[in-house]
Structure 1
Amino acid sequence: MGPETFLFILLATVVNSFIGLIGVLTLWMREKSLESILIILVAFSAGALLSGAFFHLIAESLVEMEVMTSFIYLLIGFIIFFLMERVLHWRHCHEGKCDVHPFTHLVLIGDGIHNFIDGVVIAASFMVSVAFGWITTLVIILHEIPQELGDFGVLVYGGFEKVRALGFNFLAQITCIIGGFVGFFLLYTPESIAFLLPFAAGGFIYIASSDLIPELHKEENMKRSFLSFVFFIIGIVFLLVIKILLGG
């Protein structure tokens, strides 16, 4: 585990971090065109968050710890995200004006934790072997692309300007690099970050169920409502299929 391993970890986490800029593909879209797909991105993100929480984070946490312990951390994560939203809502909306929805901050926090974990996992994988490290990086990128695109849509839907949403989404993504550093220099052990898996899952479940899904219920147009439901299911199935195909 010398300098070469560290350089591979750094390269892999940097490449993964740039997935946070995938929203740049929408920067040149007309406002009306972007608005027409935002509800779809919100729906997809809600499904992807739930699928990621249940089939990736919780499933992995149950390998690392007892079931009861995992669910305790999950509930703690859910409660803490609830409290954070209460505080953010009070701070930003106590005067009756709230141009940016509080849930956007929770999305960024949850995504940052998730990406930090990804960085640690990438580091640990390269410590096993270079080949395993790149395979793990590819797996993470595959499930990050739809999630980051969905997160970008959620931020814009929640009131962020497109460029600002892109910047904050990228900042949340680069916590992957920090996770890579931590994983390499602090001699990764599963127990050291195991609690973060169900904690992040609790946050993802809270965001999807408390903030994103209620936004879908506000859609009154029957066609768009049905389309959002379809993409909600697609978000769930997409991450599940990736999990199955990659031997999860």
Structure 2
Amino acid sequence: MLHSVPPAVYASLVAGAVTTVGIIVVRRFSDWGRSNSAYFACFAAGVLIAVSFMHLIPKSLDISTNAPLMMLTGFLSLHVFNRFLNTKVCDRQGSAEFAIGVVAMIGIGFHSLIDGMIYSVTFSVSFFTGFLSALGMVLHEFPEGIVTFVLLLRGGFSERKSLWFAFCAAALTTPLGTLISIPWISQAAPQLLGNLLALSAGALFYVGATHLLPMAERESKKHSLVALVAGVATAFGIILSTG
């Protein structure tokens, strides 16, 4: 029975669990969680950016001739969507902090849903491709849960509501995205799979370069660069040892 469950489902469940741990940690050990979230963000950014450039992009180029266009589409789609959310929500709410909390919840919820779909796409290409992507993706879930909870709390939501909203938006949506996408991803033609992989590569690069790194830079942690290099080295080592 367990052998029939796709690896992408396990990866998405682990990601949801890691996000939940992040939320619980920042609630119970708020000082430790907030003070170290930048290191998790830097490490995850290094893994995601390295995996995108060194494995996902070359792999998608081998499969699909439309890969460059799809990479650009994946990158710009997340950028435009985030800009849209910030503009619409911030303009309609009286409190800037409330708007930021809602934007974080909606944006991260959508992003986590896409994360689940990315697991389906990458594991459909190969277990190795899925594993590399999942490594960086799972690691970035921890600070993502922390950020969602903290911003909702600052936006005026109660601690209980912040906990449950953050859990639903950042944790539950990842396995949901995987379960929704697996049935049709498994039947996809190679060209479509290559396009989706390229779309995922653009999305992953966006998450690493424009979402995680700026977060880490704002924290100005002393060893953040070390964490970033460690993330790149981890991805590089796994690619070389398995390739």
Does the CA-based 8 Å contact 1:48-1:236 persist in structure 2? yes
Q: Report how far residue 32 of structure 1 moved.
A: 0.6
Q: 1:81-140 CA distances to partner (integer Å, 9 max, x unpaired)?
A: 221111011122224613338577555545543532432554676xxxxxxxxxx2x873
| Residues 1:154 and 1:12: Cα distance change in structure 2 (over 3 Å) | closer
Give the aligned partner of residue 157 of structure 1.
147
Aligned alpha-carbon RMSD (Å): 3.1
| Residues 1:194 and 1:46: Cα distance change in structure 2 (over 3 Å) | same
Q: Report how far residue 40 of structure 1 moved.
A: 1.0
Name the amino acid aligned to 2:119.
D
1:233 counterpart = 2:233? no
Q: Count matched residues.
A: 223
Does the CA-based 8 Å contact 1:18-1:173 persist in structure 2? yes
Does the CA-based 8 Å contact 2:122-2:130 persist in structure 1? no
Larger helix share, 1 or 2: 2
| Residues 1:48 and 1:105: Cα distance change in structure 2 (over 3 Å) | farther
Matches within 5 A, 1:52-91: 52-66=51-65, 69-91=66-88
| Residues 1:234 and 1:34: Cα distance change in structure 2 (over 3 Å) | same
Provide the identity percentage. Answer: 20
Q: Distance in 1 between matches of 2:17 and 2:119?
A: 17
Matched position secondary structure for 2:37: helix
Q: Distance in 1 between matches of 2:74 and 2:125?
A: 24
Give the aligned partner of residue 155 of structure 2.
none
Give the aligned partner of residue 42 of structure 2.
43
Q: 1:127-179 CA distances to partner (integer Å, 9 max, x unpaired)?
A: xxxxxxxxx2x873575255323223134225254554444234223422333
Matched position secondary structure for 1:188: coil
Give the aligned partner of residue 11 of structure 2.
16
Give the aligned partner of residue 212 of structure 1.
212
Q: Distance in 2 between matches of 1:242 and 1:87?
A: 37
Does the CA-based 8 Å contact 1:110-1:203 persist in structure 2? no
Matched position secondary structure for 1:100: helix
Give the aligned partner of residue 169 of structure 1.
171
Q: Distance in 1 between matches of 2:53 and 2:105?
A: 21
Q: Provide structure 1 residue ranges, at least 5 long, that are not aligned to the other structure.
A: 126-135
Does the CA-based 8 Å contact 1:16-1:176 persist in structure 2? no
Matches within 5 A, 1:102-113: 102=103, 108-113=109-114
| Residues 1:78 and 1:16: Cα distance change in structure 2 (over 3 Å) | closer
Matches within 5 A, 1:19-38: 19=14, 20-26=16-22, 27-28=24-25, 29-38=28-37
Name the amino acid aligned to 1:78.
F
Matched position secondary structure for 1:218: helix
Q: Report how far residue 30 of structure 1 moved.
A: 0.8
Q: 1:196-239 CA distances to partner (integer Å, 9 max, x unpaired)?
A: 1222222222233233222222234xxx2x31111112222222
Q: Distance in 1 between matches of 2:54 and 2:106?
A: 24
Name the amino acid aligned to 1:181.
P
Give the aligned partner of residue 131 of structure 1.
none
Q: Distance in 2 between matches of 1:234 and 1:197?
A: 25
User: TM-score w.r.t. structure 1 length?
Assistant: 0.73
Give the aligned partner of residue 193 of structure 2.
193
Give the aligned partner of residue 134 of structure 2.
144
Q: Distance in 1 between matches of 2:114 and 2:223?
A: 30
